[in-house]
Structure 1
Amino acid sequence: MALFYTGLEGWFNWRRTGIPDIDPSVDNVNGDEIPVRFRYPESEQSLNPDNYQAALDRQGDDDINTEMWLLE
């Protein structure tokens, strides 16, 4: 609650700790999941394809539901 008006900080802390225990909204369009990461920008795929692919090989799909390596 203390981080409600501080941008994404509350989401980062929830993602890191899992506190508070929250559920996706009723009209969730993400398969009833709360996103746990940002996707890489499309420019990364076109301007830096080798390193983009290397990152995907190490950490999984470029998807908002793929758990980040530091949270595993």
Structure 2
Amino acid sequence: MMGARPSLLRELVERCETLRRRVASGGSTQTRRQLEDVTYTLCVVTGTRQLDTALYVARQQLADAMRHEQPLRH
């Protein structure tokens, strides 16, 4: 299976983390809905069904992408 672009994964992971913190500190109904939306998207992109699993897979894919990046040549 081909993974999502690292930039998309990074954006989704950061958004999830931000929204989770907001919800944990008494976030609004709108914030909870935004978290549900980004959770759904991250799960689809990673081929998972739960947020914790999706975050784990996304972080693994990001780490793999970093290892496979070509070093800059001078």
TM above 0.5:
no
TM-score using structure 2 length: 0.28
Where relative contact order (Cα < 8 A, 6+ residues apart) is larger, the structure is 2
Higher share in helix = 2
